[in-house]
Amino acid sequence: MAEGWLRSFDSELEIRSAGTEPAASVHAAAVAAMAEVGIDISSATPTSVSQFIDQDFDWLITVCEQARTACPALAGSVAQRIHFGFDDPAAVHGTPEQVRQAFRRVRDQIRIQLQRFYREKLGPLLRDALPQDLQPVRALLQVCGLLENDFERQFGPGWTVVIRGDVPVGAACIDTYGRFGLLRSVVVAGAHQRRGLGQLLVRNRIDWARERGIDSLFLATATAVDFFARNGFREVPRLAVPIEIRTLPKFEGSETDNSTVMEFRIR
């Protein structure tokens, strides 16, 4: 169940789950409990931890007391360990309904604990851009045709990056003009798209703008109208854009490529 939850949080994680005394098959009540929350673990097969003894892992997660004490030392390297003490729902004997309830309860406890663990230890990290991010962000923008001529000069405050591994795989920027902001250069590397990172970046920039007392964010996009609409932006006439933004060369340039102009009202 823990493996199923972790996979559902992030399809990029490589997860192996194993038992110290693996059963012949995954408990039918575990499969049913996970199916109730839309996660299919029916093809999982119990595996002995001895199969992974020589492999390297970033994390070793033990989920019951017995595993913590009985888990053999892995010969490969384990960078970090964490233990969660869940009850073993398979140890509950009772009516079928009592067994189902036990699996549901543990399923939900696992989700809460692992979601927090994922968010704090494994998930994508968003931070303000640092000087060393300039080259990787430049490369991201270039691939998507979003690189502006004066990129090097304007890279700095207002930029955020999303990091996976140790590498920036996405970026976004807001330029501020008094009470208004221009959201631009929102980009996620191809291999990381469609996993919510774009949304994470946009939400982060909206919060950043809110904290700075900005009333409205504007953007012009030729490629991602639906994406921004999903994130709360709505189409507005070009003339609705404050003049200090509308007359910027980079914004005026967007008129020629038929870009759609959009606004997000913060207040």
What does the alpha-carbon distance between residue 150 and residue 35 come to, in Å, rounded to a whole number?
52
Residue for token digits 């492999």? 55
Site string for ligand COA, 182-221 (x = CB under 6 A): --x-xxx----xxxxxxx---------------------x
* Binders of ligand COA in range 56-85 (CB under 6 A): none
Q: How far apart are CA 27 and CA 255, in angstroms?
A: 60
Q: Please give the size of the binding site for ligand COA, defined by CB under 6 A.
A: 19
Q: Which residue has the tokens 């869940």?
A: 86
Q: Is 206 helix (H, G, I), strand (E, B) or coil?
A: helix
CB of 217 to ligand COA, least distance (A): 12
The 116-155 site mask, x for binding ligand COA (CB under 6 A), equals: ----------------------------x-x---------
Q: Phi-psi category of 243—alpha, beta or left, where left has phi over 0 and alpha has psi -120 to 50?
A: alpha
Which C-beta is closer to ligand COA: that of 39 or that of 174? 174
Nearer CB in complex with ligand COA: 211/226: 226
> Residues with Cβ < 8 Å from 203, sequence gap 6 or more?
231
Nearer residue to ligand COA within complex by CB, 80 or 135: 135
Residue type, 106: V
Residue recorded with tokens 């003894």: 53
As measured in angstroms, the least distance from the Cβ of 199 to ligand COA is 3
Q: What is the 3-state secondary structure (H, E, C) of 89-111?
A: HHHCCCCHHHHHHHHHHHHHHHH
Nearer to ligand COA, 103 or 159 (CB): 159
**Does 226 engage in binding with ligand COA (CB under 6 A)?**
yes
Q: Compute the least distance from the CB of residue 241 to ligand COA, in Å.
A: 15
Q: Which residues bind ligand COA (CB under 6 A)?
A: 144, 146, 184, 186-188, 193-199, 221, 223-224, 226-227, 230
